[in-house]
Chain A
Amino acid sequence: SAVISQKPSRDICQRGTSLTIQCQVDSQVTMMFWYRQQPGQSLTLIATANQGSEATYESGFVIDKFPISRPNLTFSTLTVSNMSPEDSSIYLCSAGGLRETQYFGPGTRLLVL
């Protein structure tokens, strides 16, 4: 199984600013994903982070708001841009092989004031 770390673990940000979240995997993986989880709710997929190409976004999520990078097979970043209080949430990255168990990072708790 993959071990995944995320930085920062939590942050409090002012509206209108941007935050970049980092996700590091301890081994090379094919697939990396970014999710959002509102408190007490399920996970919603934001996008698939593709190595060497643009991320694939789910309906309701756009690149201008959530730019994603994946420079190699072990690392990805998610930026939450021009934040508003509605962006307050937990952001999780996951990683694994194609059609294999996805392992999740510890999450980044974001509060936007």
Chain B
Amino acid sequence: ELKVEQNPLFLSMQEGKNYTIYCNYSTTSDRLYWYRQDPGKSLESLFVLLSNGAVKQEGRLMASLDTKARLSTLHITAAVHDLSATYFCAVDMNKLVFGAGTILRVKS
């Protein structure tokens, strides 16, 4: 059974700081997604990572995928308050298997 583990589960950080969220998974997959969810809202697609070594960047967020290590990272650069949300990784096994989510709080 595929397991997807995210850490940390909760992250409180100051504005302007950098941090990384990790997503480990237990079975081979070549496709991984990152989603953002604001409180009371649905999921917004951030990135799709399609192959080993893939790197995608959008604003202050950068995601990468290492399929050999079964690891994806979501790096936050110079955090701002607007990035406060819950971030989920999801591994594609012809259906999405989600991690537990990382609650990010950026403090002014």
Q: Which of B42, B97, B99 contacts A106 (CB 8 A)?
A: B42
Given known A41-B100, A99-B92, contact A1–B42 (CB-CB < 8 A): no
Q: Which residues does chain B contribute within 8 Å of A107, judged by CB atoms?
A: 42
Task: Show the binding face of A for B, using Cβ within 8 Å.
Answer: 1, 33, 41-45, 48, 92, 94, 98-107
Assess whether B94 is interfacial by the CB under 8 Å rule: yes
Q: Is the interface of B mostly helix, strand, loop or mixed?
A: strand
Report chain A residues within 8 Å CB of B95. Answer: 33, 45, 48
Report the bound CA distance from A38 to B44 in whole Å.
18
Contact of B96 among A41, A45, A106 (CB under 8 A): A45
- Complex contact A42–B88 (CB within 8 A): yes
Residues from chain A with Cβ under 8 Å of B101 in the complex: 41-42
Indicate if B33 sits at the interface (CB-CB under 8 A).
yes
- State the Cβ distance, B74 to closest chain A Cβ, in Å: 15
- Once the chains are docked, how many angstroms separate the CA of A103 from the CA of B42? 10
A61 to B43, CA, bound (A): 22
* Contact between A42 and B98, CB atoms less than 8 A apart: yes
CB distance from B92 to the nearest CB of A (A): 6
* A77-B102 Cα distance, complex, nearest whole Å: 30
Nearest chain B CB to A16 CB, angstrom units? 28
State whether A42 and B100 are in contact (beta carbons under 8 Å apart), knowing that A99-B31, A104-B42, A105-B42 are contacts in the complex. Answer: yes
How far is it, in angstroms, between the C-alpha of A106 and the C-alpha of B94 when the chains are bound? Answer: 22
Known pairs A42-B99, A102-B33; list 16 more (Cβ under 8 Å). Answer: A41-B100, A41-B101, A42-B88, A42-B100, A45-B96, A92-B43, A94-B43, A99-B94, A101-B48, A102-B45, A102-B96, A104-B42, A104-B44, A105-B42, A106-B42, A107-B42
